[in-house]
Structure 1
Amino acid sequence: MHWIPTKMALLVASVSAALVLSACGGGGSDTTAKVTYTSLVSFGDSLSDVGTYKVGAIAAVGGGQFTVNGTTTGPVNWTELLAGQINVAAPCPAQTGLLSNIPQIPLVAVSPNANCTNYAQGSSRVTLLAGPNSVALQSAPANASNIGLMAVPLVTQFATHLATHGNYTGTELVTVMAGANDVFMHITAVSAVSTYVAAATGGTATSTQIAQALGAAQASAFYAGWTNTEIAAVSAPNASAINAAATAAVTHMGAHAVTLAGYIQASVIGKGAKHVVVVNIPSIENTPFGQGSGAQALLRSMVTTFNSTLKTALDGTAGLLLVDAYTQGVAQYTNPAQYGITNVTVPACSSAAPSASNPAGNILAGSSLACTVNNTLSGVDVSTYFYADTVHPTPAGYKLLDRYVAEQMAKVGWI
């Protein structure tokens, strides 16, 4: 089996909103809990996903989490590790399934798990359905073939928990992490606009090619969530369209942060939660994806705009701890040896497809969702590599995130 990625999938590899976090490896993981918790409730994207898509063909090859699967028999994701530290049940996905429209990866019907309270899903955005490789992209005008990630947005995740379990009791630990997939959708739109402008002004493209490039740019902007006015601005066949696209991307990231903060305050804390950990977007510009994007400055601007806006909107909110993964990510990238990491630039997962000579190849073209210990690059020591694919962490990366979150919780007496 071999997954044929769409152009968008190749550009932004599902995150979930996905993308890898860098984190400090300080203490906190060995502390005795100062607060007694009864459960862990998690909202977010692929970085908090504990197995939403561990079904069908993905499960059959040993995949299912966004990392190098199979490197350990114990917990891998930072939310799983955190659950062990606060002495509550291991998290399980509140929904499973895979709505693929390609024959190589058969569709698996969506199944809710009412007893599970990890709502995070790879590709989820703050409020919009269209994330990288999401089922929403399979409809017109995209008409994309992809593996059909459900990508339920956080606004729906919050509502589903309340509808299923009612208001919070105040004894839960709640984690929230999102925004990265919004970055990916916006940077995809900016890239598509740049391609269109290059075709329109380069002097070598045919009128048909220019029209196709314009259609792709407009579709990408539509799925990113841009307004009709913004889409009209980026349709100009000149450099002003690129500037308009970059402005739209940054502006929307600020708006996403305000919206997320509002939902956290109204639908989580406002419904009785008293211990809420919110993790901001990491340094996407330093991931292998970011390093190869040619748009590091724009990625940095989008992420820092989201993070600073989120902080301003949440400052002073009782019962909330904001964890600054971005700053820790920069530190980890700058001095990886301090964190026990030897490589922060090369993904550990191989992109080689299955073949007669390589039957264990990656059926998702290098995505960590189908990456296992059997299809990493030759000679890689996964325990010292930070990235599994271009945006997601190895188990070592998740462990560092868990330790950093626990350290911040310890500082405020939450663990």
Structure 2
Amino acid sequence: MKQFRVLATAFAAALLVAACGGGGDGDQSPAVKYASVVSFGDSLSDAGTYSVGPIKASGGGMFTVNGIASASAVGADPVPSYNWAQLVSAAAIGKTSCAARTGGFGVVESVVAGCTNYAQGGARVVDPKGVGNPVGVGFTAGPLTEPVVTQIANYLADGGSFAGTELVTVLGGANDLFGQTDKLKADATAAGGAALATSLVTQLVAGAPPANQLAAQAFIGGAIQTEAVKTTATPTSIITAAVTAAATHAAMNGYTNTAVANAATIAQTAGAAAIAAGNTYLATTGAANAMTGMAVAATALANSVKSMITSGAKHVVVVNIPDVSQTPMAMATIVYNTDGSIKDNSQQQLVLALTSQFNTTLQTALEVSPGVAVPGVVFVDAFAENRRQLANKAHYALTNVKDVACNLTSPVNVLATAGKADGSSLVCNAGNLIAGDTSHYLFADNVHPTPYGHKLLAQYVTKALVIAGWL
């Protein structure tokens, strides 16, 4: 099968584009001459915001395989680990972009002169509390996660402008998806916890004499609340607290609570009620709220793009979210039967629905009519291209589209990701990869592409720009 060839280096990309964009008079320069390439977004476009302090010392700084891959490995790619936005920059102006602001992980944020890539790992569209940032604005103990709207404001504050001479790249939304799923899980857990408490109280109070039931209800409910707020609380500890409270109240008031003797049955019934309530919330109210949240984020991103156009930008390339539902992270949520058939893939399907909601809303908001983008915008469907890669890996010279190239349990990766053995590729490099040749893997970690994956995306975006007459 004919393999899909990618560009060997960023500058080879620039040469190829020049060859495609030049005219018949022998001029091989790009069709549009840009003064700069300005990028906004998240970890997929981040050119090294966190290449500081302990992260830099660990050989990291970007969310992929950092540094130069070993040229000795069969099929290895001995080029720097540029991401797609940097490669597009090389194609447009002949040099890769660099992080406009650096900091975080204990290092105060600073402006880097001459750099115009404002994307930051963990960033959302509007919410400053991005992935790994529980505080929001001004957080430097971990990732900065300044949202896209702030990145744009920072670009203007740093002296930038939308004069029409710059190529702007925008890719965001995946972290909003993670935020929605995190909230969904928390809210579903809360719904399950409320059902657990209600079931426990109802069953235990029924074992007390009618005259004591109201007081017992308050006593048992109080014990449940006291236990539930503890950081060490578990369903088992809450059940134990409730049963103990029922027995204690009975002893204190001189009666026998007959339900206490059936504690095991009560626990089973309450647990089932909690699971049912949590699942119901996930499938109904929670899912609907998450879908709305993704639509709101996509609309906000579209409005930011339109604002740039209104301010004078003439060339904004907007890339939608790749298929997050096919990442190792999402695929790991699928539950299989013993025969290998799928038993439950509801979580993966929810991720797909949220991704599609964002992408559809974003594209629709950036169109003046179906299939016709707002003037000044090129919309790139990375989602569709990503699915083609997954369905036909050989065509793209991909050797693995399921596993991760980085050894996420290596000491350096665990340390740099706050003890999380399933952390990101932020400090992944040639020294902590899994065994074997990973040069043509698609995924560096559970959600981020390898340098090869970035090249595939860069070439796809570059092709769209050439077709639009922008390169």
TM range (shorter): 0.7 to 0.9
Q: 1:58 aligns to what SS in structure 2? A: helix
CA gap 1:82/1:238 in 2 versus in 1, 3 angstroms: closer
**Structure 2 residue 366 is the aligned partner of structure 1 residue 314:** yes
The answer to whether the aligner puts 1:207 opposite 2:206 as a matched pair is no
Partner of 1:130: 129
RMSD: 3.0
Tell me what 2:66 maps to. 69
CA distance in 2, matches of 1:211, 1:360: 32
Work out the CA distance in 2 between the residues paired with 1:128 and 1:370. 25
Superposed displacement of residue 89, structure 1 = 3.7
* 2:357 aligned partner: 305
**1:368-387 mapped onto 2 (5 Å cutoff):** 368-379=425-436, 381-387=437-443
Q: Secondary structure at the match of 1:398?
A: helix
C-alpha change, 1:201 and 1:137, in structure 2 (3 Å) is farther
TM-score (norm 1): 0.78
Q: Alpha-carbon deviations, 1:74-100, whole Å to 9, x = none? A: 3511111112212344311111111x4
Q: 1:378 to 1:36 in 2, by over 3 A?
A: same
Aligned to 1:225: none
Alignment of 1:341-360 (within 5 A): 341-354=398-411
Which aligned pairs between 1:32-111 and structure 2 lie closer than 5 A? 32=18, 33-70=30-67, 71=69, 72-74=78-80, 76-98=82-104, 100=105, 107-111=106-110
* CA drift at 1:198: 4.3
Instruction: Report the AA paired with residue 46 of structure 1.
Output: S
Instruction: Measure how far apart 1:204 and its partner are.
Output: 9.0
Partners of 1:351 and 1:362 within 8 A in 2: no
Q: Is the 8 A contact 1:41 1:172 kept in 2?
A: yes
> Counterpart of 1:163?
157
Q: Secondary structure at the match of 1:31?
A: helix
Aligned to 2:295: 254
Identify the residue that residue 382 of structure 2 maps to in structure 1.
325
Q: Distance in 2 between matches of 1:211 and 1:389?
A: 34
Partner of 2:319: 279
Which residue matches 1:149?
A: 143
Determine what percentage of the aligned residue pairs are the same residue: 40
- Bigger Rg, which one: 2
**How far does residue 182 in structure 1 lie from its aligned partner after superposition?**
0.2
Q: 2 CA distance for matches of 1:307 and 1:54?
A: 30
**Contact 1:135 1:150 (8 Å CA) reproduced:** no
Closer, same or farther: CA 166–387 of 1 in aligned 2, 3 Å: closer
Count residues in correspondence.
Answer: 355
Sort the Cα spacing of 1:43 and 1:280 in 2 relative to 1 into closer, same or farther, 3 A: same
Cα distance, 1:75–1:363 mapped onto 2, change above 3 Å: closer
Deviations 1:181-208 (A, max 9, x none): 0000101111223334445556799935
Contact 1:280-1:323 at 8 Å conserved across structures: yes
Q: Deviations over 1:143-162 (max 9, x none)?
A: xx996110001111111212
**Is residue 363 from structure 1 mapped to residue 380 from structure 2 by the alignment?**
no
Residues 244 and 25 (structure 1), Cα distance of their counterparts in 2 relative to 1, 3 Å cut = farther
362-371 or 273-282: bigger deviation: 362-371
Q: Bigger shift: 89-98 or 182-191?
A: 89-98
Alpha-carbon distance in 1 for matches of 2:452, 2:410: 25
Q: CA offsets per residue over residues 110-167 of structure 1, 9 Å max, x none?
A: 112243211000011101111111252699xxxxx99611000111111121222243
Pairing partner for 2:175 from 181, 193, 202: 181
**In structure 2, what is the Cα distance between the partners aligned to 1:212 and 1:324?**
46
- Name the structure, 1 or 2, with higher relative contact order (CA <8 Å, separation 6+): 1
Q: State the TM-score, normalizing by the size of structure 2.
A: 0.69
Q: Secondary structure at the match of 1:408?
A: helix
* Structure (1 or 2) with the greater helix fraction: 2
Corresponding residue of 1:119: 118
Partner SS state of residue 111, structure 1: strand
Q: Which runs of 5+ in 2 are unaligned?
A: 19-29, 70-77, 202-222, 235-275, 335-346, 369-373
Q: Find the counterpart in structure 2 of residue 31 from structure 1.
A: 17
| Unaligned stretches of 5+ residues in structure 1 | 1-23, 101-106, 140-144, 217-235
Match of 1:394 among 450, 453, 459: 450
Aligned partners of 1:393 and 1:371: how far apart in 2?
12
Q: Is the 8 A contact 1:126 1:153 kept in 2?
A: yes
Q: 1:287 to 1:167 in 2, by over 3 A?
A: same
Q: Which residue of 2 aligns with 1:289?
A: 329
Aligned-pair distance for 1:312? 0.9
